Chains A and B, each alone.
Chain A
Amino acid sequence: ELKVEQNPLFLSMQEGKNYTIYCNYSTTSDRLYWYRQDPGKSLESLFVLLSNGAVKQEGRLMASLDTKARLSTLHITAAVHDLSATYFCAVRGYGTSGSRLTFGEGTQLTVN
C-alpha cells in the first residue's frame, strides 16, 4: 500500500524567511504532484513532477523530485503572507483499478 508522509504538518514562518516542506513516499512512483488549498476552498495545482531530478519553480515556490530517495521537497523562498495555505503532495500509485493519487496529510503553512 502506498503511503505518503509530509513534514512538518504545521509550519509557522516569518515573512522573508526560507523553509522547506518534505514529502516522502513508500513505493516506486514516477509522478508527484503539489497542490495548494486555501481554507474552505478546493485544491489548486502547483506542480507536476514527472521524472527523477525534475525541478520546477513558480514565483517563491520551487519543487524537486528524487525518485531514488522517494522524496520531494517544496522550497519556499522569502515567504510572504499570501503563501499562507495548506500544501499537499500527492503520489501516483497503481492498484487493481488503474492509477490514482494518494495524498499526504498536508502541511498547514502560516506566514506571520
Chain B
Amino acid sequence: DAMVIQNPRYQVTQFGKPVTLSCSQTLNHNVMYWYQQKSSQAPKLLFHYYDKDFNNEADTPDNFQSRRPNTSFCFLDIRSPGLGDAAMYLCATRTTTNEKLFFGSGTQLSVL
C-alpha cells in the first residue's frame, strides 16, 4: 500500500497559471519535505516542515509556497509557474527518530 501519495502524477499548467501539488501520508510522520528534481539532476530541497514549523531554503524562489494544514497533508503552491519550473516534484517524510526518508512517487510538472 502506498504510504506517501502524491497527486497528480502528471500535471500540465500554463505559463503564469497558479498550480498546486499535493502530498498525503499515512505514516503519521512529523517531518515532511518538498524536493524539486530537474531532468538528469539531483533532487534539490525547497522546504521542509517539522510538525507545523516551516523551514524555507535560502535559495527557494518566492514563487514557491507551501501549506501543511495537518500532519497528513502538505501542499506545494507555485504562484506563477515559469518554463524553468518544469520538473519532478518529490515529497518525502520521516520521523524525528528514524533516519529513513520515504518518498512519494512524484509529480511531473510541465509548463506550456
Contacts and interface: CB of A to CB of B under 8 A. Distances in A.
Interface of A: 31, 33, 40-45, 48, 50, 88, 92, 97-98, 100-106, 108
B105 interface: yes
Given A31-B99, A42-B104, A98-B50, A88 B45 contact: no
6 contacts: A43-B101, A44-B103, A45-B100, A48-B100, A88-B42, A105-B41
A84 B13 CA distance: 32
Given A98-B55, A105-B41, A105-B42, A41 B106 contact: yes
Contacts of B55: 97-98
Interface in B58-94: 90, 92
Nearest to A6: B42
Given A100-B33, A100-B48, A42 B103 contact: yes
A43 B108 contact: no
A41 B90 CA distance: 10
A43 to B, nearest CB: 5
B43 interface: yes
Contact of B45 (A43, A48, A100): A100
Interface of B: 33, 40-45, 48, 50, 55-57, 90, 92, 99-106, 108
Q: Describe A's contact surface by its main secondary structure.
A: strand
Nearest to A92: B99
Given A33-B101, A50-B99, A98-B55, A42 B106 contact: yes
A51 B77 CA distance: 37
A92 B101 CA distance: 11
A51 B6 CA distance: 32
Contacts of A43: 43, 90, 92, 101, 103
Given A98-B50, A101-B45, A48 B99 contact: yes
A88 B100 contact: no
Contact of A42 (B33, B41, B90): B90
A88 B48 CA distance: 20
A23 to B, nearest CB: 12
A17 B26 CA distance: 41
